[in-house]
Amino acid sequence: MATDGVKIIDGDTAHDTYWGIMDLYDNGVEFDIINKEFPLIQSDYFDDFDNEIYVTSCALALWEMGVLTDDKLAYVKSIIDKAACVREWAKNNEKDGKARKKELDKFWKKISQTNAKIRARKKYRKITNFYFQPDDLLTFKLKDGNYRAVICTAIEQYRGQCNYILVPTTYNSSKKPTIDNLKDKEILGRQIGSGYDQRTTKEMQPGIERIWNFSGGNCNFFFGVIQLAITHKDFINFKERFEKVGTLRIIDGLKKMGSFGYEEDFERFETIFSDLENHIKIFQHKKYPVTILCDI
């Protein structure tokens, strides 16, 4: 069971299903391929609770696209009538069970009628005039007069939103940093549990042996860097506070996300980097030498 609330699109399974379909739709994928990728009838892979979440979120996407056929509609009704989620939520809280039942009744009334306003395929504008580039080493000065440094590891664009992914380093000096200055510094990251054997873990994350060797040798975990994301829209308000001082590339296999957070203004960088040791302690990050993570 993996859901956050009683609404139709409310939780991991529902979001992954609905937006997985819509992403394909918006990218011009034909309906036959979408149906093959997200088949409505897929009960062998779910228990009744998760199957209801999957089927209803899938049905909502199909209805919005105008391709929810009568036979599929009948199948959706058969799943709703099982009331699996209603019963499950009612076990914990009777009000939640009633709330889910209300959502399902409203949902059924909606999709059982012909959609008079088919959702058009969306065209998301892609940003091309970037402020910085992947692998840029960026520095900024805080109120204490010292410089800090982050690495822009990637620029990600999804559904019209453009994010700059910045990874913190431990650089802290009154001197503006150079690439050489970073050689004895660290990058913030964290270990991520692996349910696979060592061989499979290595295949899934090339370069992980570097981290294992640093951590003691006989290990088996994934690794991820700490990611501070800034949207293109927000960054325009304080991009002048950052300066490119070189290029520093983290090995591709080690760019996996360890933790992720959005930073909306420069004050957040003041808060994080003015006492980085405390930030590391609170969020249980770890330090890893730049020379291990980077081509340097």
Residue 123: HSE in the Cβ half-sphere, 13 Å Cα cutoff? 0
Helices 94-111, 70-82: inter-axial angle, 10-degree rounding = 170
pLDDT grade for 5, boundaries at 50, 70 and 90? confident
Per-residue pLDDT tens digits for 144-180: 999 999 999 999 998 889 999 999 999 999 999 999 9
Given a cut of 90, whether residue 271 has pLDDT beyond it is yes
The amino acid sitting at 51 is N
pLDDT for position 294: 96
Query: What mean pLDDT is reported for the chain?
Result: 93
Answer whether residue 184 shows pLDDT above 50: yes
| CA separation for the pair 210, 217 (Å, rounded) | 9
What pLDDT, in 10s, does the model give residues 137-147?
Answer: 999 999 999 99
pTM of the model: 0.73
Q: What is the mean pLDDT of residues 98-108?
A: 95
Confidence band (pLDDT; 50, 70, 90) for 1? very low
> How would residue 266 be classed by pLDDT, with cut points 50, 70 and 90?
very high
pLDDT digits (tens, 9 = 90+) for 226-244: 999 999 999 999 999 999 9
Residue 217 confidence (pLDDT): 85
Distance, C-alpha 238 to centroid of its chain: 24
Report the 10 Å Cβ neighbour count for 48: 14
> Domain coordinates of the chain in residue numbers?
12-111, 136-293
The torsion angles phi and psi of 284, rounded to 5 degrees, stand at 60, 40
Does the structure show a pLDDT above 70 at 102? yes
- 3, pLDDT greater than 70: no
Instruction: Give 38-61 pLDDT, tens digit per residue.
Output: 999 986 767 899 999 999 999 999
Whether the pLDDT of residue 272 is over 80: the answer is yes
Q: What CA–CA distance (Å, rounded) separates 157 from 78?
A: 39
191 token code pair: 């270990």
Percentage of the chain lying above the pLDDT 70 cut: 98
